[in-house]
Amino acid sequence: MAKLCVNIDHIATLRQARRIDEPDPVAGAVLAELGGAASITCHLREDRRHMQDHDVARLLKTVKNGLNLEMACTNEMLDIAAGFKSLRMVMFVPEKREEVTTEGGLDVAGKFDSVAAGVARMAAAGHKVSLFIDARRAQIDAAREAGAQVVELHTGPYANAVGDGVCDELAMLMDVADYAQHLGLQVNAGHGLNLRNVAPVAAIGGLCELHIGHSIISHAVMVGLERAVREMRAEIGRGEMLAARGLSPLDILARY
Ligand code: PXP
């Protein structure tokens, strides 16, 4: 069975909406590991829209199964990654400031020199590198030539396809996964996967890891909301009960 690697960026997205300290992605990572995550992934973006530098450092100290650092192949990010000792994997992705999420795969063939130099720099720092690429044989050839040990096939086009396009995109993933494995690459896949579309991808032979974020965090909000409301009601009731016993609001505050 492919390993499930959980991307927890969107816990930080929620936190950054208020710029306070909850929800904490590090606590989320612990829960994801308890749920069976084979590893945790965070994307440190140039604009720091969700994960912050201190999150990466705290995650590295806390997670048990290893931390994957997703990032653009830029000098700033390469410097940061080189400063960490025990990353499980560095994942190069293309990054645009204006995008809502990673939009397409890395054009390894088109940016060969900078990607190959980035892979070499990470190897020198002791990090394995994964390249997030569109499911195209030419990108696999380029990824291998650039020295990557791992490729992650972009499943977004499959997830977003409609009608016959779904089968076409799945067939493309199957073909390219097989091609990459025969070249000796570790093949992972991810982006846009959810409870309704993951099974056919999981059935592709030889995929090592599935990297999933948004749908897991979204589903967690939904399955956890009822309990969260119940717990808030219980706490309101506790305040009222203590007041009925004669405690003032200041007495109750002193108990926290
Ligand atoms: N893999 C890569 C390389 C990504 O950039 C992302 C999104 O950060 C994912 C997987 C997870 O995608 P999603 O959040 O759509 O599950």
Does the C-beta of 12 come closer than 6 Å to ligand 1? no
CATH of domain 3-223: 3.20.20.70
Domain ranges of the chain: 3-223
Specify the ligand 1 atom closest to the Cα of 215. Answer: 16
Per-residue pLDDT of the chain (256 residues; tens, 9 = 90+): 999 999 999 999 999 999 999 999 999 999 999 999 999 999 999 999 999 999 999 999 999 999 999 999 999 999 999 999 899 999 999 987 777 777 789 999 999 999 999 999 999 999 999 999 999 999 999 999 999 999 999 999 999 999 999 999 999 999 999 999 999 999 999 999 999 999 999 999 999 999 999 999 999 999 999 999 999 999 999 999 999 999 999 999 998 8
- Beta-sheet strands, E only, within the chain: 3-7, 39-43, 67-71, 89-92, 129-133, 150-154, 186-190, 209-212
49: exposed, middle or buried (Cβ count in 10 Å: 0-12, 13-18, 19+): middle
54 as an active site residue: the answer is no
Give nearest CA residue, ligand 1 atom 3. Answer: 132
Q: Which of these is catalytic: 169, 191, 209, 211?
A: 191
46 as an active site residue: the answer is no
70 as an active site residue: the answer is yes
pLDDT of residue 96: 79
pLDDT of residue 256: 82
Q: Which of these is catalytic: 43, 50, 127, 211?
A: 43
- Beta-sheet strands, E only, within 61-212: 67-71, 89-92, 129-133, 150-154, 186-190, 209-212
CA dist 73 and 93 (Å) reads 7
pLDDT of residue 102: 73
What 241-246 contacts at long range (C-beta under 8 Å, 24+ apart), as own/partner pairs, is none
Specify the ligand 1 atom closest to the Cα of 192. Answer: 15
pTM of the predicted model, to two decimals? Answer: 0.95
Ligand 1 midpoint to CA 56 (Å): 17
pLDDT of residue 101: 74
pLDDT of residue 103: 77
| H helical segments located in 183-247 | 198-202, 214-244
